[in-house]
Amino acid sequence: MTVRIIAAAALASLVCAAAPTAACEGEAGPGGFVRNPPLPPFTFNVDVAMAMRHFPWLHFHVLGVGSYQPGKAYLVHFTKLPWFAPHEAHDTDLAMLEPAMWPSRFL
């Protein structure tokens, strides 16, 4: 569970795009800002080295491959996890980080 949260936080800092709404296309939103166009589908590599500075002073390395398809999927497959990670943690769905997918997932 901890690995999922850490990986989700790391990926959220790298990629978090929202699909434009009708009100945001070409028009200035609050503060005069214009929303960027949505990202195209892409794949990415995950390479995270973690070090805990307090007890239990664990150091581990996580590797994986991810894919993003706007409005459809945001998945990461971990190829290397520490020994204490649960076996079902090899595939993680990060759709919760993509606001454009919230209506289809949570409503």
Summarised one tens digit per residue, pLDDT across range 39-73 is: 899 999 999 999 999 988 889 999 999 999 988 88
pLDDT level of residue 18 (50, 70, 90 thresholds): very low
pLDDT given for residue 39 in this prediction = 84
Mean pLDDT over residues 4-15, rounded? 59
Query: Residue 48 in contact with residue 6, Cβ under 8 Å?
Result: yes
| Nearest CA among 5, 4, 12 for reference residue 98 | 12
pLDDT given for residue 12 in this prediction = 58
Query: Which tokens hold the place of 2?
Result: 């901890």
How many whole angstroms from its chain centre is CA 70?
12
Say what the pTM is: 0.59
